[in-house]
Chains A and B, each alone.
Chain A
Amino acid sequence: MSFPMLHIDHLGKAFQVDGSDKSVLTDLSLCLDRGEFVCVLGRSGCGKSTLINLVAGFTFPTSGRILVQGNPVERPGPDRCVVFQDDALFPWLTVEENIAFGLRNKKRYQDRVASLLDMTGLTGFRKYLPEEISGGMKQRVALARVLVLDPGILLMDEPFAALDAQTREEMQALFLDLWARFHHTVLFVTHDVREAVFLADRVLVMDRGRNHQFMDITLSRPRNRESEDFSVRARALRSML
């Protein structure tokens, strides 16, 4: 019997606030096949980041369960790597050292690090410290340091939200190139409707209650952001929010 890559089953999360339960995520179910790209849209406060934290294993659900290839998530691990919205690079390590950080045997995977530096356009910056490079470059490093671990699942927590519009589109294109090459399973949180239409196979629109909705994006790739079909999808998603 084969399991889905990621199976989220009636997931719920509540926090204790002043003695009463405050629910931030209610009854969410979702299955991702290997290599599938799902974007998560929703208004702020609907639990998008909570979902990422739960799948990553940083926090634990109050109800339901999360299975990765049939195994319940118990702790964070390199099979479910996260790219955070905020800069989470190690400021005392160079670009290259940051990318190699998660590797146990750095010598053995030297070539892997070199090829990821190349793929993310960072080769010329490999000796730089994070404080010496731009926000877009930092997110490239954040991406490369998890790709080097070849994670089954990539969890993207609004990774490009803090970038300017032009850099954001560059990063989206770069990310799609890398995805086409490695075919990771991706759960990508965003509040940008057009980003979701550009990237995803399927979009989950989260709700503060239990009324979560899905929409398949059937447009062929590469997608043209200027096309009428693209705008139709974007409008449809916006109306679901």
Chain B
Amino acid sequence: MMNRLLPWLLPGAFGAFWVLAAAFSWVPEYLMPGPGQVLETGRLYILGRAGDAPYAGRFVEDLVASLTRVGLGFFLATALGLPLGVWSGRVAWVRKLFGTSVNGLRAVPGITWLPLAMVWFGIGLKTTVFLVALAAFFPIYLNAASGASQVNPLLLRAGAMMGVDRLRGTFAILLPAAMPAIVTGLRLGLGISWAYLVLGELSGVPNGLGAVIMDARMLGRIDMIVVGIILIAILGRATDLALKKGLTLLFKSAARMPA
């Protein structure tokens, strides 16, 4: 009982405080609208028909656009970061080859790539996917590398003496043994994907949750900004849970050795 309530305690307390703050007008409306107005804006945004209100009915299109960008970027980051990370975790010359460059690039704040990405890819899907993939690559790569390098060598020897070849050893021993670190990297990568999604969408694309927030800022619709923030929080948490669940369903090692 306690454990089921605990996760909702902070959101609940924050909501209650928000209700009180609105009821007693502690904060002016133009800085922070009350929960009632935000709920109504959210309802219109998600369930309303186009034309009823400025943002009514746009949610599904924005959601699909944002999920596509996050999904593509995260997929690219995983497809590159995971194998390269595992490889450099195991092979000294690969680590030497990539280590300096990866750690150098990692120090560059993602936002500094935005102007360059806009020049290269224009405004839209490609820029956003590029930013998401770039940002998510680093936690995925680094955690995979550290997980792979810390695999108990005895497990690999055990596999070798049982006649397991290199390929099967990689998939049946190395990756499962590194799984907790890999899962951590993927979850961090997915989290940061959402952050860079919004950054990419602030650059003037017509749709997406980030675009809505930027649009609402220019029109002074604080309520809509708050709706966008809450939706991104919910989506970020939901995709994280889905990722975790998916990995535990697909891999015994993810289910039996929690990260």
Chain A positions within 8 Å of B, measured between CB atoms, are 56-58, 75-78, 80-82, 84, 86, 88-93, 101-102, 129, 145-146, 149
Contact = CB atoms under 8 A, between A and B. Distances in A.
Interface of B: 152, 154-155, 157-164, 172-173, 176-177, 179, 252-253, 256-257
Contact of B161 (A56, A86, A89, A90): A56
B interface SS class: helix
A203 to B, nearest CB: 24
Scoring B155, B161, B162 by chain A CB atoms within 10 A of each residue's CB, the highest score goes to B161
B161 A82 contact: yes
Nearest to A76: B160
Contact of B252 (A81, A82, A92, A146): A92
B162 A146 contact: yes
B256 A82 contact: no
A183 to B, nearest CB: 20
24 contacts: A56-B157, A58-B157, A75-B160, A76-B160, A77-B163, A78-B163, A81-B161, A82-B158, A84-B158, A86-B154, A88-B152, A89-B158, A90-B158, A90-B176, A90-B177, A91-B256, A92-B177, A92-B179, A92-B256, A92-B257, A101-B162, A102-B163, A102-B164, A129-B256
Nearest to A84: B154
A101 B161 CA distance: 12
A77 to B, nearest CB: 6
Contacts of B257: 91-92
B180 to A, nearest CB: 10
Contacts of B154: 84, 86, 88
A78 B252 contact: no
A62 to B, nearest CB: 20
Nearest to B163: A78
Nearest to B157: A58
Nearest to B160: A76
Contacts of A57: 160-161
Contacts of B177: 90-92
Contacts of B162: 78, 81, 101-102, 145-146, 149
Nearest to A130: B256
A149 B158 CA distance: 13
Contact of B158 (A75, A88, A129): A88
A59 to B, nearest CB: 10
Contact of A92 (B160, B161, B163, B253): B253
Residue among A57, A75, A82 with max Cβ neighbours from chain B (10 Å):
A82
Residue in A76, A78, A102, A129 with the greatest tally of chain B CB atoms within 10 Å:
A76
A78 B161 CA distance: 5
Nearest to B168: A104
B244 to A, nearest CB: 16
B165 to A, nearest CB: 10
